[in-house]
Structure 1
Amino acid sequence: MVICIFAILAVVFVIAAAAPPVERVTVMENGGYFPVAIRLSSGEILAVMRAGAPHIGKGGRLVLSISGDAGRTWSKPWTAVDGPEDDRNPALGQTADGTVLLAYAVLSGYDPSGLNLSPKREERVFDGVYIMRSKDKGKSWTRPERSEGIYSFYAGKGAVSPYGKIITLADGTVVMPVYFEFSDGRGNESYVFRSKDGGKTWGDPSLLGKHYNETAVVDLGGAKLLAAMRSEKGGHLAVTRSEDDGYAWSEPVQITVDLEHPADLVRLQSGWILMTYGERNPPRGARAVLSRDGGKTWDMSGKIILADDCPNTDCGYPSSVETAKGRIVSLFYRVDDLNAALTSAKCVAALWEASE
């Protein structure tokens, strides 16, 4: 899902994998890239995914699907965003009053076919981060509005994208991870932006790390936040911590090897921290690891295999939720045939339990 514009219902079956046992459910076929899943205040699971095009394509749109039975079955996907350009890279969250927020990037500058980006770099444009709000679990939405607070931060000079889950802190502040690729040679930088009005306006950015992009953030309580960032070079994951609601961040610490990215973070009912991430080293798929001390250390020797049968590196981007009964639902995508990237793409949910 990282774009370098300057360099170019469901069937359940059981996997034989590392304990605990994992079930897999098909959420969507013919698309389903880069899922982001959240547990709504109602207990339902809402997921947003990319459809209409593979990684690149003017036909890119964003669709939603919802599950009311802890991830075992999913609704038929419906379209949330389908503008004239490439709508991509979604982030999803719910505020304290139940409003669902959907943020996404818009990429223009395709050739006449709409399948390839223009060979002229100056014609490839990320037109900012757009925000929509829903009061009915994503069935209807406010008109998309570009965040001028985010756009003015980079003035359209480079690439910008939200990522993953949008979280709400105890005081009602909404926090969204956003990363940039600046056209002045600085490379990738990872930030959080804040909203004090339920996601209507955004600003007050804080830098998490330079030379990082896709970043997951989780609230640990007591003004403590934990983030996992994808490195610009090599694609490993590094974690960083904040003890002041995300204004200052610790020096990043690498925790995975290259090609293990990007991450999603969940604070479980047990207090443990769950990290799920894509595995693009063989055997490819998705993995999960746990921290029992708030993200200071990770049980890398006890990795849970959510999938290890993806035939190529076009897979991963897991996003997880914990149900009321403590079951974990982890969504990820896979492409089974690179020559038919859209029609062979699917979003899959892995259903499992975090054991002692």
Structure 2
Amino acid sequence: MLRSSSLLFMLSLGLLVHVKYGWGEESYPWKARQPSGVPVRVAVEPPEDARFAHLSWNKVVRTPRGTLVLAYVAGTFHGNHGGGCPAVSRSVDNGESFSAPHVLREFGPGQDYSHCGNLALGLTGDGALILLAMVFDGDNANHIFGWRSEDDGQTWFAVSTEALGPNKTGSVFGNVLPIPDRGLAVFGHYRAGAQPHTHGIWMSLSQDAGRTWQAPARIYDGFAVEPAVVFSQGRLIGFFRGSGGELGNRGRQAVSVSDDFGRTWTTKPSVLQPCQPDSARLANPFAVENPAQPGDILVLTTERKVPSNRPASIQLWRGSAQQLDWQRVRILLEIPHIPDDPHHDFSYPWLTPLGNNRWLMFYYHGKSRGYCPLWMTNVDLAEAGDS
């Protein structure tokens, strides 16, 4: 805890420097825009220290007490040897402000692993937070670390992930979610350096509220990454980003369903793909059940032009948990194409509900190396065509 406290103090100073110099909305001509005109705003500014200037791969949950907890990676860039570290920020005022980045553990070149690559975040039945983070050193080695918080993300202690690594899985992603009679579940994809599998999707269970995790089970042996899994009306529904094979390399998503709480799965290619598959690709999957309409699944896709990432957009889809009838609804967010502008690293949207069809959406947007803040915007699903 001493090292984390010292890092939090250092990063807080960096945030104060940003406030002092007044980095306001006028400083972001490259920011994304909602077609509806609803403004976007920075949720978490990176600290001035270049070591943690690039924030990315964000996830968010709201605790039973109403605290918003953002988990993300803070480094110099996200990618091989980018020095990314798992970090969290908290909001106790419904997203009006967030705390400075609190780094849970440092990784980087010259350390045991050179980068933290992705995260999974969720809640236990008693309201505790569980955060799992994958780390790797190129294609040579990988591991998954985990933490648990029982005070709304103020303090964190390590959990046992020995069954998940080193070199047993690869990456973790998305939601930590409860499954009836089976405990908590988390999902990820195998990657190079893992044994015995280097591709496919895995699932792991915890029967002690996230304190220890069991050996992974391979639930899909195709080429896919970043599984976003939700539980709705007695079934698990997973959205897998294609990375080759029958799904191609443009991010077309497979949808996987389990009606026996994760013991067996049926996986098929879906209609979730780019509008222009010849010139664009999809980034990460995201899905959530609409609490106002049980069985109504909201899906976000990020379409990015190849190879420049611009123009890009976040699009809303929705469908039934039973029918799996995904329909594109509308564009939620667009980033402008500004020639020679370096702020083209963008995506990984995550929604959390506010109630009455209102949501907060979080995403990252900035430079591919260096300065990259986390952003947020309000989304109203009561708008025409959304309900």
TM-score by length of 2: 0.75
Structure 1 position 27 matched with structure 2 position 48: no
Are 2:364 and 1:328 aligned? no
Are residue 318 (structure 1) and residue 346 (structure 2) matched?
A: no
Distance 1:22 1:279 in 2: 20
Q: 2:300 aligns with which of 258, 261, 276?
A: 276
Q: Give the unaligned 5+ runs of structure 1.
A: 1-8, 109-116
SS in 2 for 1:54: coil
Deviations along 1:256-308, whole A, 9 cap, x unmatched?
135112111111122221112322135314222222455611221x2232233
Partners of 1:196 and 1:316 in 2: CA distance:
33
1:261 aligned onto 2:271: no
Is the Cα contact below 8 Å between 2:233 and 2:321 reproduced in 1?
no
Once the two structures are TM-superposed, the CA of residue 135 in structure 1 deviates from its matched residue by 0.8
Q: CA offsets, 1:313-356, max 9 Å, x none?
A: 63111111112443211111112x44xx222x121112111122
How far 1:130 sits from its partner (Å)? 1.2
1:342 aligns with 2:370: yes
Q: Aligned-pair distance for 1:129?
A: 1.1
Contact 1:276 1:286 in 2 (8 A): yes
SS of equivalent residue, structure 1 residue 188: coil
Give secondary structure in 2 for the equivalent of 1:43: coil
Alignment of 1:18-167 (within 5 A): 18-19=35-36, 22-29=38-45, 30-56=53-79, 57=81, 59-83=83-107, 84=111, 85=113, 86-108=115-137, 124-126=140-142, 128-143=143-158, 145=160, 147-151=161-165, 156=167, 160-167=170-177
- SS of the aligned residue for 2:201 comes to strand
Q: Distance in 2 between matches of 1:199 and 1:143?
A: 10
Counterpart-to-counterpart distance in 1, 2:141 and 2:314: 31
Equivalent residue pairs, number: 322
How large is the RMSD of aligned CA atoms in angstroms? 2.8
**Cα distance in 1 between the residues matched to 2:34 and 2:117:** 32
The TM-score with structure 1 as length reference comes to: 0.81
Gaps of at least 5 residues in structure 2 are 1-18, 46-52
Q: Tell me the distance in 1 between the aligned counterparts of 2:62 and 2:154.
A: 16
Distance 1:275 1:65 in 2: 25
Q: What do residues 42-88 of structure 1 show as CA deviations (whole Å, max 9, x unaligned)?
A: 22221111112211335321221122333343222222222443333
Q: Secondary structure at the match of 1:81?
A: coil
Moved more, 305-314 or 98-107: 305-314
Deviations 1:133-187 (A, max 9, x none): 1111222111354x22222xxx627x60110111112446101012102558965
Instruction: Work out which structure has the larger RCO, using CA pairs closer than 8 Å and 6 or more positions apart in sequence.
Output: 1
Supply the AA of the counterpart residue of 2:125: A
Which residue identity lines up with residue 131 of structure 1 in the other structure?
Answer: G
Moved over 3 A (4+): 9-19, 182-187, 292-295, 310-313
Deviation at 1:202, TM superposition (A): 1.9
Q: Does 1:304 align with 2:331?
A: yes
Q: Distance in 1 between matches of 2:208 and 2:173?
A: 20
For the 8 Å contact 1:96–1:172, the answer to whether it is kept is: no
1:285, 1:315 within 8 Å by CA — same for their partners in 2?
Answer: no
Residue of structure 2 in register with 1:111 after alignment = none
Relative distance call for 1:37 and 1:16 in structure 2 (3 A) is closer
Point out the more displaced range, 164-173 or 229-238: 164-173
More strand by share: 1
Q: Where does residue 4 of structure 1 map in the other structure?
A: none
Would the alpha carbon gap of residues 212 and 295 (structure 1) be closer, same or farther in structure 2, given more than 3 Å must change?
A: farther
Q: In the TM superposition, what is the alpha-carbon distance from 1:218 to its structure 2 partner?
A: 0.4
Q: Deviations over 1:177-229 (max 9, x none)?
A: 1210255896520121111111122226241352111110001032x011110
In 2, distance between residues paired with 1:294 and 1:23?
Answer: 35
How has the CA–CA distance of structure 1 residues 48 and 16 changed in structure 2, closer, same or farther, with 3 Å as cutoff?
A: closer
Q: What amino acid does structure 2 have at the position aligned with 1:256?
A: Q
Aligned-residue sequence identity (percent) comes to 21
**Which structure's CA Rg is the greater one?**
2
User: Are positions 1:175 and 2:198 aligned together?
Assistant: no
CA distance in 2, matches of 1:263, 1:332: 13
Aligned match for 1:242, one of 258, 261, 283: 258
Task: Provide closer, same or farther for how the CA distance between residues 137 and 295 of structure 1 changes in structure 2, counting only shifts above 3 A.
Answer: farther
